[in-house]
Every structure is written in structure tokens, then in C-alpha cells.
Amino acid sequence: MAKIFFNAQCSKEFKMESPSRFPLDFHRRLPGYQPTPLLSLPQVAKQVGVDQVLLKNEAGRFGLPAFKILGASWAVFQALRERLELAVQDLVSLEDIGRFVGAKHSLRISCATDGNHGRAVARVARILGIPARVHVPAGTTEQRMEAIELERAVVVMGGTYDESLKRAANDGASGALLIQDTGWDGYEKIPKWTVEGYSTMFWEVEDELERRVGVKHIPTHVFVQIGVGSLAAASVRHFRRKELFEHPVLIGVEPEGSDCVLESVKAGRIVQLPGAQHSIMAGLNCGTPSSVSFPELQKGIDCFLAVDDERAKEAVRLLAEVNVVSGETGAAGLAGLIELCSQAHIDSREALDLDRDSRVLLISTEGITDQEVYDEIIGKK
């Protein structure tokens, strides 16, 4: 049975400063930039009983199967500018920094990942010509590790995600540039930049909806995946900004057993889940929330929902039926929507005003990251 937690600490009065559009301008200068598709899924809307389901499909962002390069590229850009004391006006792209680094400096990059973040960091390091080491937890599939290695990074496997994070942090203490999407005491600036980088996705959504409708058009409900919380924090910053008269209902979705943010918000403080996390939603197998994101999630997410792997598989199959290829983590938002629209949650749905007039935004954060797993889920085997 799914877990639902209504966040009493969240209020309509909570507002944030508008996120900058600078990251969007930066990403537009990267080679191969184009906005990812915003799809309308009327068949899915009819099945779950809402007016509209929109899905931001991140399966092809810069030729990678996930959105993570948005945060990784902006964080690396900002971190190198700061470390090398470079003026903003002298640089317009990663390539500019790469030429500067290659000529005068010896740098290396390190990170920990469940897959997509590490591949994105490795891609940015490759663009810059900088060596990268990526730490992954035990059980990471061969296909995910091979994809990172194809970006010319060294992959080190072992332990849980949190243990991988400790190894990456040790690299940082030894002089490597640590590019992580989760924060802790004393390591907060780069995770903040990572969250800023994800703002590009939400500006693209809003700009596209305004282009279609002719006026500013905000969804009534947003379902967003939560791992350590960086993407969800970006959604809070965007949809809780001061100039919006009304914000959509924000619903954070986690896997059962990896619901570290739900449990932390319940406890009123950051807690670490015991042991390892083993959900099929591999990109969300995190045991500790980011200290950078947690305060914003605590105040800005209306409801937290933990779903099981079977719901994720159901969501993958439903998207495949409407010709959307999404991995298990990518389909987690839809898994949450399916769960809430089931007969077991009529009261919760009413409390969230999720009904036949609702316009729902989902984010497919990844495409296929493991072909064998995907084929098994959709029944190709």
C-alpha cells in the first residue's frame, strides 16, 4: 500500500524569489541545445480521470537519456568560474572555459551517482577535456556503468549510494572538483547551482504553454520525482515564486523504502534511512535528503507520496502504449498519479482537488537507461 503524507508545514503564503533565466540562456549556448518536447497525453488523462496530462519528455536532452546535464553543466560552469577566478563577461560557454583550463590548469572532477547524474557530469568533463571519476553503488547495472565509461570517465563501484557519496567527497578533499546534486553541512554552493540548472526545464514548460495558449498557463497539479530532492526543489522555486497569484498543488513522488524526504518531513528534520535502497526506480534510491533542498521541500511541497515498484512498471507500460519511452525513474511521476487516482485514495484526491478539471504536469526524467530491464517491463521478453 502506498504511503501518503499531507504536509502541514506547507502553506499558501510560502513564496520564493523568481528563479533566474540565466541558466536557460547558458544552456541555449551549448552545442545541440533544443527544448525537450512537452507532450499532451489525452488517453492517459481519460484513464486517470483528469482534464489534461502534460508530460515533459527528457529522454533526449543533449543526446543523453535524462535531464541531469542541465544541473551538471551549470554547476560545473559556475564552480570553475569561481575556482579559476574568471569574470562572467569573459566567458559565454563551456568551450571557453575548456580552452582556458586546458592551457593553464590541471583539474579533475568527481561525483557519486545512481546513473544519470554521473553520466551527465562525465559528459561535461569530456567537453572540457578534464578527467572524471564517478562513484556508483553496488548493484548498478553494467549498461549504466558502460554508458558512463563511454564518456571517458573512470567508474568505481561499491557499497550504498551514501557510501559512494563519501568516496566522492574524499576525492573532493584531495583536490578534485566535487560536482554533487546533494548537499550537506559545508557543501552547499554546488548543489544550489545544480538546482538552479534544472530551472531551464520549467521555464521551457511555461514558455511553451504560453506560446500555445497565448497567455500564462500554469498547471493545477505537478507530480515531481524525489531522490535527494534537487529536482523537486527546482519545482518549488519555479511554481512558488512571488509573481504567481496561485501555485499548483505540488506532489513529491518517491519509491517505497527510499522515501527519505517523506520520512524527514514527517520527523521535522533530515533523517537517514537505514541500509541500502533497492527500488527498480534506481535514480531515486537515495537514503538521505540534500540539506540544500530539504528546507524548500519542507515548506513548498503540498503532499508526499511513496509508491511501489509495480506502480512504476504500470506507468512505464502505460507510457509505452502512447508511444512515450520512459524508464522506471522517469515514469515515477505518472506512477504517483495512477496511485492517487485509484479507488483506494478517493479522500486524498478530494483533499488535493485532483478531479476532472485538473491539468497535470508530469516530468519523464529519463528514457531507457537499461534496455534489458525496460524490455522485461513492457513484455518484449
91 has a pLDDT exceeding 60: no
Alpha-carbon gap, residue 82 to 92, rounded angstroms: 15
Answer for the pair 56, 362: CB distance below 8 angstroms, yes or no.
yes
Domain count along the chain: 2
Residue 128 included in any domain: yes
Do residues 324 and 258 share a domain?
A: yes
**238 shares its domain with 370:** yes
Give catalytic status of residue 114 as yes or no. Answer: yes
Read off the amino acid at residue 39. L
How large is the angle between the packed helices 116-128 and 69-83, nearest 10 degrees? 50
Among the options 25, 46, 56, 68, which is catalytic?
Answer: 68
Does 245 lie in the same domain as 293? yes
The whole-number pLDDT of residue 12 equals: 83
Does any domain span residue 186?
no
Q: Which helix (H) or strand (E) holds 239?
A: helix 230-239
- Kindly report, residue by residue over 241-251, the tens digit of the pLDDT: 999 988 999 99
The reply to whether 32 and 89 lie within a common domain is no
Model confidence at 104, pLDDT cuts 50, 70, 90, reads: low
Q: Assess whether 328 and 250 both reside in one domain.
A: yes
| 288, 303: one domain | yes
* C-alpha distance from residue 304 to each of 29, 96, 105, 181, 253 (Å): 36, 42, 45, 20, 6
Who wins on pLDDT, 236 or 130? 236
**Average confidence score pLDDT of the chain:** 93
Pair 129, 272 in one domain: no
Q: Say which range, 68-72, 91-95, 279-283, 333-337, has the weakest mean pLDDT.
A: 91-95
What's the pLDDT at 102?
A: 62
**pLDDT grade for 13, boundaries at 50, 70 and 90:** confident
Segment 282-300, tens digit of pLDDT: 999 999 999 999 999 999 9
Percentage, residues of the chain above pLDDT 90: 80
Stretch 107-113: mean pLDDT, rounded? Answer: 93
How many angstroms separate the first and last alpha carbons of the chain? Answer: 28
Q: Can you tell me the mean pLDDT for 186-200?
A: 97
139 secondary structure, DSSP code: T
| Measured CA angle at 343 (ends 341, 347), to 5 deg | 80
Pair (203, 254) in one structural domain: yes
In 3D, which of 354, 380, 345 has the Cα closest to residue 51?
Answer: 354
On the question of pLDDT at 90 being above 80, the answer is no
Domain membership of residue 338 (yes or no) is yes
Write the pLDDT tens digit of every residue in 195-220.
999 999 999 999 999 999 876 789 99
Within a domain: residue 13? yes
Domain span at residue 289 reads 3-66+191-378
- Mean per-residue pLDDT for 303-318? 98
Q: 140: domain CATH number?
A: 3.40.50.1100
pTM for the predicted model, two decimal places: 0.94
Provide the percentage of residues in the chain whose pLDDT is more than 70.
Answer: 97
Question: How much is the average pLDDT of 255-280?
Answer: 95
Helix (H) / strand (E) element for 178: namely strand 177-178
Same domain, 87 and 15: no
Buried b / exposed e across 241-257, counting CB within 10 Å, b at 16+? eeeeeebbbbbbbbbbb
Residue 185 resides in a domain:
no
326 in any annotated domain: yes
- Tell me: do 210 and 291 sit in the same domain: yes
Highest mean pLDDT among 83-97, 109-123, 141-155, 290-304: 290-304
**pLDDT higher than 60, residue 95:** yes
10 part of a folded domain:
yes
Q: Is residue 165 over pLDDT 90?
A: yes
118 and 84: one domain?
A: yes
**How sure is the predictor about 187, in pLDDT bands with cuts at 50, 70 and 90?**
very high
Residue 103 predicted with pLDDT over 60: no
From 153, 180, 207, give the residue that closes a domain.
Answer: 180
For residue 355, indicate whether it is catalytic: no
Q: Which residue has the higher pLDDT, 364 or 160?
A: 364
**C-alpha to C-alpha distance for 22 and 373, rounded to whole angstroms:** 37
Instruction: Choose, from 3, 12, 104, 114, the residue flagged as catalytic.
Output: 114
Q: How confident is the model at residue 84 (pLDDT cuts 50, 70, 90)?
A: confident
Of 146, 180, 214, the residue that ends a domain is 180
pLDDT at residue 178, as a whole number:
97
C-alpha Rg value of the chain to the nearest Å: 20
Instruction: Indicate if 214 and 269 belong to the same structural domain.
Output: yes
Q: Which of 122, 155, 180 is the last residue of a domain?
A: 180
SS3 3: strand
Sequence-separated (6 or more) residues with CB below 8 Å from residue 317: 377, 378, 379
Decide if 162 is inside a domain.
Answer: yes
Q: Return left, alpha or beta for 229; rule: phi > 0 is left, psi -120 to 50 is alpha, else beta.
A: left
